[in-house]
Amino acid sequence: MSTLANRYKIIKNLGAGGFSQVYLAKDLQRDDRRRCVVKQLQPKSDDPFTVRTARRLFKTEVNVLQKLGNHDRIPQLYVSFEENRQFYLVEQYITGQGLSRELTWWHWTEAKTVAFLQDILETLAFVHRKQVIHRDIKPENLIRRDRDQRIVLIDFGSVKKRQPADYTAIVGTQGYMPPEQLLGKPRLNSDIYAVGMIALRGLTGIDPAKTAFPTDPDTGEFLWQHKTNVSPELAQVLNTMVRQDHRHRYPSAQEALQAVSQLGEASAPSRRRLLQAAGLSVMGLLGTGMAYPALSQELPNRKPSASFPATDLLSGDTSTAEKKASAEKQPDPVTQSIPAQEQEASQASPALATAPQRLDKQELLRRYGSYNECRKIAKANGIKFSTTPTWDKLVYAFSYSEALQQISQVYLRTYPNPALAGITVELTL
């Protein structure tokens, strides 16, 4: 591989952006030989307008990164230079996984969505306070950092300083750009729209870059709530973020962050966070084989307001279970002799005590490609092992994780409050 500026040895090609080529390199002049990202200005077309636009955006990226300074969740700019009439910038390399890969695994829960919004909006609020518009927020430009699982915002190659200009070059990604950005008039809350679209993708599984969301014929706003199950409070926040008219969105990331932070006071999100905590506790204890029995033993302590739909729970079909529950209201001569508490336990426990092993090694390899990738994905989703896991443990871990999500969705539709089920959650991670 070539070496740039007698210092940066190119290791591999990381891909290409709209106007640049990106490489992974190591710094030969540092004792630690740290890895870094080298971005080379490389327009896809050689026509004068494209070249001028590319050079302007490249210089703007350097200036903006210098202006932003050091922020924990923005790659640090090390240096920019010119060699053989080619322009380069060198910045911090972030070890982690792109959010686009994470979005292909499974749909997000409400708790995961709220955590994502808080994470990225904190960083974006800092960027907006500097009067900078990112203009290309999308899953590919967000990395979940390995060391702490925080979201890092990368690729400032499309940034624009906020100024009272009439029009500017149309830069961004289809599906994540709001109407005003498509017209060449981006605003701070154009970034808010993009963040909202990522959240909708996480919740519904619909990639707006490939498939357009249906819209209300009267208002033109997106119709998405029928594809998922979230609280009215979160739905209102997301709908405000993705309004077609920028005047009806949050003005900047700071206002959006305040709205998301208030979701913690709502009862429904609190209920979901409690179940997410229970799920993390279960996944953290997978190596012991005691997670599901321990959780289920707490469930029958009090009588819920409605029968838990045990049958067909994991298949997602609650209608059959509800019909059976209705039919079983008639007294049964056998169960009449069984104490009421034991009857409740026998009805409520089985659905939560076991999870079908619907996955196998071949399925995990098909999804993620290798053992190491499965380990990384498990770690990103809070699954921890006390020792190096075998394939069997990985299969069980992913099976339990998916079953937990399905159980939680039905559970939240059934019980108005976790206290009615006598849930006691103790985190052991």
CATH number of the domain where residue 178 is located: 1.10.510.10
Distance CA 160, CA 132 (A): 6
Reported pTM:
0.62
428 located within any domain = no
Percent composition of the chain: helix, strand, coil (DSSP 3-state, to 5): 45, 15, 40
Place of tokens 């039905």: 410
Same-domain pairing of 76 and 118? no
Same-domain pairing of 112 and 256? yes
Instruction: Return the pLDDT at 166.
Output: 55
Asked if residues 87 and 41 have their Cβ atoms less than 8 Å apart, the reply is: yes
334 located within any domain = no
**In which band, very low, low, confident or very high, does the pLDDT at 172 lie, cut at 50, 70 and 90?**
confident
427 located within any domain = no
Same-domain pairing of 386 and 414? yes
Find the domain containing 81 and state its range: 3-92
Nearest to 40 by CA among 90, 111, 105, 112: 90
Q: What tokens does 254 get?
A: 């700071």
Same-domain pairing of 233 and 110? yes
Same-domain pairing of 136 and 261? yes
Q: What tokens does 102 get?
A: 């994470």
Instruction: Return the pLDDT at 259.
Output: 96
9 located within any domain = yes
Same-domain pairing of 285 and 383? yes
Q: What residues contact 24, with CB distance under 8 A and at least 6 apart?
A: 10, 11, 12, 13, 14, 35, 36, 37, 38, 93
Least confidently predicted of 80-89, 150-159, 256-265, 307-316: 307-316
CATH number of the domain where residue 28 is located: 3.30.200.20
330 located within any domain = no
Asked if residues 3 and 83 have their Cβ atoms less than 8 Å apart, the reply is: no
Higher-scoring residue by pLDDT: 318, 16? 16
426 located within any domain = no
288 located within any domain = yes
Residues 136-145 have pLDDT tens digits of 999 999 999 9
Catalytic residues: 136
Same-domain pairing of 72 and 143? no
Same-domain pairing of 133 and 198? yes
Q: State the average pLDDT for the chain.
A: 76
Query: How many domains would you assign to the chain?
Result: 3
Q: What residues contact 362, with CB distance under 8 A and at least 6 apart?
A: none
Same-domain pairing of 379 and 275? yes
Same-domain pairing of 236 and 276? no
Same-domain pairing of 363 and 234? no
Same-domain pairing of 114 and 260? yes
Residues 400-415 have pLDDT tens digits of 777 776 665 555 555 5
Domain boundary among 69, 92, 115: 92
Instruction: Return the pLDDT at 161.
Output: 61
Place of tokens 């279970």: 321
